[in-house]
Amino acid sequence: MNKNLFFKIKFILVASFFFSTFSCIVFLNISWATTYKMQYKFQPMDPSVNTVWMPVPRYWDGQGMKKIEGVSISPKPTSHYQESNGTELAYWEAGDFNVDKTFTIDFIAKIEPVKHDINENTIWPNYDTNSALYTTYTSPNVWTQSDDQEIITKATEIVGAETSPYKKAKLIHAWVSDWNNISGPPPTVPDGSGEKDAKSVLQRKWGGCGGKATLFVALTKAVGIPARTVAGYHPSPYQNVSFSPGTAFWTGYQDNNVLKVGTHVWAEFHLPGYGWVQCDPTQSTMFGEIPQERLVLSKGDNIKVGNGFTAGTLTCDINGIKAWVHFPLTPHNGAWLVNLITDILNVDTPIQIEQNFDFTIPRAVYGTMNLQINFKYFGDQAGTSLWYLDNYSTTTSSSTPITISSTDLSFKVMSSTFTSNSGDINLWLEFNYFGNQNGKMLWELLKYGLN
């Protein structure tokens, strides 16, 4: 096996192993990067619309969104700019509209789920409290009131005597995502209704994704950790990992169609010497990982739309400041149509080798089953490279395509299909059992085939 193959992000999962039976506890599903051709399209129906803003996809830090390229905006915007947080916006005034008032952004995006492999016992260096990043993302604003005494008191109560910024953020995430503390909107209240600033959410004890994100950010800032909101689109239904080819659209403010994508707001916090770490305060399991492809369109909880327009009549706006921008903006409330059209261009190879020689086989299909396998590299002994089976999982079926020999514990992954836009790839693997060392069952990858 070529150990120098291009490496990808590592997803570490947990499984319990026995000599004759395998049982696994799956914490994460699939790992791969997919390249999409996307078109983001907006058509306001109100004839009085004379200003439009749209968020423009951009590359941030390689987490989740590995690449954005080929961005084309039509018609040519009156202005295309980055606001102070880095969010890109295209802005049109009436004189620059098309006759049919249709606005499109075409681009190519390479996207994968996010996973941060962080040792929570790491001793972190001190923050540079004089840096622009620290002062910007710990400062309070109308959305994340981290200087409010009620928020400071709650944040201090949550973290207690903890000093690690990572563990502080983890404690805050666990508290916000717990519905016993902050529930979702009541059944009688639409998810988009109600104030979404941090203080309002804390006081009434419920909020949607935006409200939970602003509360997480405010509490995290209050204990001295830089944090900000993140917003964009995710596959829908929510449990889907990847975007589906085709067109997803809304009319008016009602989701009256079967959606293939959904808007969402989540968060990230900054660790000294490491960088930004994403988490989703609506999901208790999504701390330091987002096991789903997401198209990021904005970052920052104090976004000023700009261009000399006071955006007080725009949705989710306080005094001209927005906590996220994922939807096109116009100060008019008439009907509109939004499309997000996706086509899969390419999916990465089904065998992904890490720098430490761990590897993952994601998104293979065996009959009606989706298959994922994770192997951890154990080491080299007498010229033999050894792995242990860290985890495998299947979905849509309780059976497994992994067959274990009852005599010598060798096993095979039978011929499975890895589906990509360019055609199907047949994949098979064969492992020989090497032995048990330090409680780990070790195998040698004897051969594999891709057709």
pTM exceeds cut of 0.75: no
Question: Which conformational region is residue 62 in: left (phi greater than 0), alpha (psi within -120 to 50 degrees), or beta?
Answer: left
Looking at residue 370, what is its pLDDT?
A: 56
CA–CA separation, 142 and 302 (whole Å): 8
CA–CA separation, 128 and 28 (whole Å): 34
Looking at residue 186, what is its pLDDT?
A: 80
CA–CA separation, 336 and 317 (whole Å): 19
Pair 416, 427: CB distance under 8 Å: yes
CA–CA separation, 220 and 444 (whole Å): 46
Can you say how many angstroms the Cα of residue 249 is from the centroid of all Cα atoms in its chain? 21
Question: 3-state class of 262 per DSSP?
Answer: strand
Q: For the segment 353-398, what is each residue's pLDDT rounded down to a tens digit?
A: 555 666 655 545 544 555 566 677 787 787 777 777 776 655 544 4
Q: For the segment 311-363, what is each residue's pLDDT rounded down to a tens digit?
A: 545 666 777 788 999 988 887 656 677 888 888 776 655 455 555 666 655 54
Q: For the segment 412-448, what is each residue's pLDDT rounded down to a tens digit?
A: 655 555 544 444 555 566 677 788 887 777 877 766 6
Q: Which helix (H) or strand (E) holds 250?
A: strand 246-251
Considering only 36-40, 202-206, 321-325, 407-411, which range has the smallest mean pLDDT? 407-411
pLDDT at 96 over 60: yes
Pair 227, 268: CB distance under 8 Å: yes
Give Cβ neighbours of residue 24 (< 8 Å, ≥ 6 apart): 13, 14, 15, 16, 391, 392, 393
Q: For the segment 272-294, what is each residue's pLDDT rounded down to a tens digit?
A: 999 999 999 999 999 998 988 99
Domains of the chain: 14-32+352-450 (no CATH), 114-345 (3.10.620.30)
Pair 421, 44: CB distance under 8 Å: no
CA–CA separation, 14 and 438 (whole Å): 17
